[in-house]
Amino acid sequence: MILHLTERALWDEARGVGSYEMSTRGRTLGDVGFIHCSLRHQLPGVAALLYGAEPDRTDLVVLVIEVARLDVPVRYEPPVPGGEEFPHVYGPLRVDAVVGVEPWPVA
């Protein structure tokens, strides 16, 4: 499983059209070329980087993605040479590949 942190409204919109195409906060798959994801242990750092200045947000959710359900490539790549590798989804995320939606921060 890989994870993606997003806003609930964006996920709700994706469910209506059948696919999710946001890469990261404020940037789309078309802008970046892939959807940023993380492993469970990487998620707190990602959340701090993207939303650290807004710790009281209650509209964030974590999409739990089953890689085997994807029909697009997943590559593990570092954000900088020699850095920790993060999973990147190279194409639209079909909503049926999301097997769980968790609140963030976890209560």
pLDDT of residue 107: 61
pLDDT of residue 97: 98
* Sign of the dihedral defined by the CA atoms of residues 79, 82, 84, 90, in that order: positive
Return the number of other C-beta atoms located less than 10 Å from residue 40's C-beta: 11
Which residues, 6+ apart, have CB-to-CB distance to 44 below 8 Å?
Answer: none
Q: Which residues pair with 100 in a beta bridge?
A: 64
Q: Which residue ranges in the chain fall short of pLDDT 70? A: 55, 107
For the segment(s) 2-104, the CATH number from 2.170.130.10, 3.30.465.10, 3.20.170.20, 3.40.50.2300 is 3.20.170.20
Q: Give 71-93 pLDDT, tens digit per residue.
A: 999 999 998 899 999 999 999 99
- pLDDT value of position 84: 95
